[in-house]
Structure 1
Amino acid sequence: MQFLKAKKLVCAVVAAGALGLGAVLPSGQAQAQQQTYLMKISTPTVHDIPNVWIDGYAAMLEKDSGGRIKVQVFPASQLGSIPRQIEGTQFGSIQCVQIPPEFMVGLDARFQLLAAPGLVDSEIEGQRLVANPAVRKLMLGLGADKGLHGLSVWYATPNVLISRTPLHDVADFKGKKVRVFASPFQTVAFERLGITPVAMSLGDVLPALQQGAIDGSITGIGPIVKFHMIDAAKYVTEINQPSIFIIEEVNQKWYEALPKDLQQLVDSDAAKEDAAIAPMAGKMADEYLQEWKAAGGTLIKLSPAEHAKMMKILAGVGTEVSSKTPTLAVAYKIVSQAAKHAAASK
């Protein structure tokens, strides 16, 4: 009799599983597998290299999660200025923010490490630098005590300088008021060039140029083209320093509330998209430069002598700034040594 009861119970469980009723799963596990998680991603750019990363990541993540993660993308600072996007991600109204890491310097001074001038001199060096395990571990771990989980960090493009008047050499920089990213590495660097640096979010650059509040701005060529900055300034000087890196940070509580398999997907798909964007970034930047010229913009390239003069002035900025804070000094040593290795690799 007991054997027959046991046999009936086994048959009932097997039948339930065959019918997809999930009877063999603990209720919490079954509920987690059925739940849908919303991931809002905020970024200041639009139709640019970072947006291509987001689009690829969103499509991959929704597919790989079987629709359990739904991604909503908010470009062009739709959810607020860069500081508001960072705060929103910290406190959970936004699940993910995508920005240059130096804008998070207020949370931890080490977020600015990749903004040091002279750190890398080419696209391939930049890609090698953030592929370095020590650098990647350092950068992605910085927000852990600030409510953030580091998702991804990758090389995007060199900086250029858009200006209302032509800047052909280092002497032309003197006396200009220029928007920079929020980082002492950048403010100290541009002060050395005789520039008055003004930290400003991307969304504020065009009106500031139009109103004459600033004479120019450093940024990637993508935002210059996609935000139609030619309406306010017609000159772009290729200074190529410092390079622009991009970091993605997600809200830590949101991440930790995900089932383990989705946590793994969120991380692994980001790494896959980093690899996918690498060969595209340089090509897209070149296309934007051509768009700029086609729209009537002027492209200025510093002569080798003027570029060498600029780099001589900027030499040692990273060491100077980082030496003021012990933790920053230690971290800068890790990154600068990795950069030297990246430059030496063949």
Structure 2
Amino acid sequence: MQTFLRRTALATVAALALGATGAAFAQDIKPRIIRFGYGLNEQSNQGRASKVFAQAVEKASGGKMKVRAIGASALGPDVQMQQAVIGGAQEMMVGSTATLVGITKEMALWDTPFLFNNVQEADAILDGPIGQKIMDKLQEKGLVGLVYWENGFRNLTNNKRPITKLEDMDGIKLRVMQNEVFLNSFKTLGANAIPLPFSELFSALETNTVDGQENPFNTIVSSKFYEVQKYLSVTNHVYSPWIVMASKKWWDGLSKDERKVLLDAAIQSRDFERKDTREEAAKAMADLKTKGMQINQLAPTEAARMRDKLTKVNAQVAANVGMDLWQETQNTLTKMRSK
């Protein structure tokens, strides 16, 4: 009887030990969950690329890392997410570089009106030494920049009139991003520039709180601005990038292999996103016409007039980002264009 009881006790201890080991093992293989916030809806170019990023991370990590992509500003507008990422309350996000200017002044370079002539110039500068230099500055502020995605060349929509010349901007209540360069640029062009978070924009257009806004074609389509806007003027006044970022507090706790998984996945998502965005933008104008928008192309002579009017704004950007960085960018662009 004693032998039986002893065997039973040993079996119980063994079972408990096995259970504890199993529990510990289960805990060890629990995937690392990464909250990745973005502003547009799931059906947008931003949403599609976020899905590609999530899938690439899970595949490369063998399921040990899982990205929860959370769109439609559910984690807050860009500025709010930036603070959460800096504080470590949120791991990652993708958002506009324009809303980072208050954190890293060099980001204002990307807000320069008419800086790039085409996407090839934008890719070369963003992915080259200049883009990396600016991205590296984020680490001083608690953020780690991984890659730039494309938002695209920005265009104007409004409910007042087509913008065919500089004077048509006069008095239009135009929503702009919460960014000094955008505010100063559109005030200089004669608009009544009103800063608003993107999450409040559709409602502001619908209630006529603002007359218009400016965004790339893709955002105009995916956010259904055609439902509340009549005129679209193709101005291509600014090339606007997005940037994928991580919390430095969180990033510093990752292994070298985990960081590589995230960076490789970010590059993969960037390449997908740019191709996807450009293909969608090429079709967007036809889509917006069928949805009832009246579309006009700003003449080169009028674009030149706007560019000339914004000379002082460009000088302010140069002073803010530093003359060395400004001159390096201008020299690089000049060399590219001479080829």
TM-score bracket, normalised by the shorter chain, equals 0.7 to 0.9
In the aligned structure 2, how far is the partner of 1:342 from the partner of 1:278?
21
Q: Following TM superposition, by how much is the alpha carbon of 1:171 offset from its aligned partner in structure 2, in angstroms?
A: 1.0
Which residue, 290, 297, 304 being the options, matches 2:286? 290
Please say if 1:200 is aligned against 2:207: no
In the aligned structure 1, how far is the partner of 2:220 from the partner of 2:32?
34
TM score, norm. by length of structure 2: 0.86
Please say if 1:37 is aligned against 2:32: yes
Is the CA contact 1:111–1:142 (under 8 Å) kept in the aligned structure 2?
Answer: no
Q: Following TM superposition, by how much is the alpha carbon of 1:261 offset from its aligned partner in structure 2, in angstroms?
A: 0.4
Which residue, 144, 160, 165 being the options, matches 1:165? 160
In the aligned structure 2, how far is the partner of 1:334 from the partner of 1:33?
49
Q: Following TM superposition, by how much is the alpha carbon of 1:113 offset from its aligned partner in structure 2, in angstroms?
A: 1.4
In the aligned structure 2, how far is the partner of 1:265 from the partner of 1:335?
31
Q: Following TM superposition, by how much is the alpha carbon of 1:335 offset from its aligned partner in structure 2, in angstroms?
A: 3.2
1:66-115, Cα deviation, whole Å (9 max, x unpaired): 11110111111011122211111111222111111110112121122111
In the aligned structure 2, how far is the partner of 1:144 from the partner of 1:341?
30
Q: How well do the aligned residues superpose, as a CA RMSD in angstroms?
A: 2.2
In the aligned structure 1, how far is the partner of 2:33 from the partner of 2:313?
42
Please say if 1:255 is aligned against 2:251: yes
Which residue, 123, 130, 138 being the options, matches 1:135? 130
Is the CA contact 1:123–1:282 (under 8 Å) kept in the aligned structure 2?
Answer: no
Is the CA contact 1:135–1:335 (under 8 Å) kept in the aligned structure 2?
Answer: yes
Q: Secondary structure at the match of 2:242?
A: strand
1:140-169, Cα deviation, whole Å (9 max, x unpaired): 212212221111113331001110122222
Q: Which ranges of structure 2 fall in alignment gaps of 5 or more residues?
A: 1-24
Map 1:1-346 onto structure 2 (within 5 A). 34=29, 36-46=31-41, 47-132=43-128, 134-166=129-161, 167-315=163-311, 317-323=313-319, 325=320, 328-345=322-339
The percent of aligned pairs where both chains have the same amino acid is 19
Is the CA contact 1:139–1:150 (under 8 Å) kept in the aligned structure 2?
Answer: no
Q: Which ranges of structure 1 fall in alignment gaps of 5 or more residues?
A: 1-29
Is the CA contact 1:103–1:112 (under 8 Å) kept in the aligned structure 2?
Answer: no
TM score, norm. by length of structure 1: 0.84
Q: Which 4+ residue blocks in structure 1 deviate beyond 4 angstroms?
A: 30-33
Is the CA contact 2:108–2:317 (under 8 Å) kept in the aligned structure 1?
Answer: no
- Supply the AA of the counterpart residue of 2:136: G
Q: Secondary structure at the match of 1:282?
A: helix
Q: Following TM superposition, by how much is the alpha carbon of 1:50 offset from its aligned partner in structure 2, in angstroms?
A: 2.3
